[in-house]
Amino acid sequence: MMAARKLPPLPFDTEGLRGELRLREPMSRHTSWRVGGPAEFFYQPADKADVIALMRRLPDDLPVYWLGLGSNLLVRDGGIPGLVVKTVKSLGELVLLENQRLYAEAGVTCAKVARKSVAAGLAGAAFLAGVPGSFGGALAMNAGAFGGETWPLVESVECVQRGGAVLHFNRGEIGYGYRRVELPADCFLLSGVLALGAGSGDGGQAEIRALLEKRGASQPVQSANAGSVFKNPKGGYAARILEDLGLKGHQVGGACFSTKHANFIINEGTATARDIEGLIELARRKVREETGVELEHEVRIVGEAS
């Protein structure tokens, strides 16, 4: 008879939790670049209450990472020490409220928020159809597309802290700007309420179709990518700078800048996280040396090198 496999000691008590805990989960399964080493601990909660119960049990020294669709994330090849909590398929409640408001949990896709809003005849959130991520990610970074941004629509957000305390903030209590949100430390987004305006259902559907057509025509949506790599510098466009310096199509290993949009890096099928990060740093160095502009990456880079 084969002996039962002995599991490593867990850093928190799992009794009573209703979600699924995995050990050494490959992050390449959960990122849109399809790269990334394993998460030491990976938890798929059952629902919002389960997330709060989990947070009550975590030791102070355990690193925690919040994961949505993994569309704005580069996980290094050595993986992530600590705990990854995945919100998609867990925090999925999406509800229309009175007075043209919409409640969405962090794991709802931005596309679904956009479709729900226009189906209800609400205006203002159609641009979210062009954001390839989760609503929690959009809240965390003030995601935007085609001239729209998330936080100008926010009425309030709900967060959970390590220890399980649930906090609520109105928009005026949180500082934000271009791809920047100043949440309190160790505060993880659970949900948000959007305050929208009156619109036309047919008009909103047409707006979403037009946005998606524009996105398909200008971005490599059929390739493994993580959206825009760099933030636009003040008074300019990262894609234009990269293209002017001849970086369109430039390749490191299995990663290359898209020939369709210079601010997108594509995994051609064999890329490692090291290839992608190397290409990012090569571009930043070239732009700095030749233009004096310091590009900031929009994608979040986490984990350890292999």
Known catalytic residues are: 179, 228, 298
β-pair type (101-105, 94-97) = antiparallel
Is 290 within 8 Å of 68 (Cβ atoms)? no
Question: What count of Cα atoms within 13 Å lies in the side-chain half-sphere of residue 214?
Answer: 13
Tokens of 21: 């805990």
Structure tokens at 80: 């992530």
Contact 122, 198 (CB under 8 A): yes
Can you spell out the DSSP letters for 77-142? TT-EEEEEEE-TTTS--EEEETTTEEEEETTSBHHHHHHHHHHTTEES-GGGGG--SBHHHHHHHT
| SS3 category, 284 | helix
Q: Are 2 and 13 in contact (CB under 8 A)?
A: no
Half-sphere exposure of 142 (CA within 13 A, CB side): 17
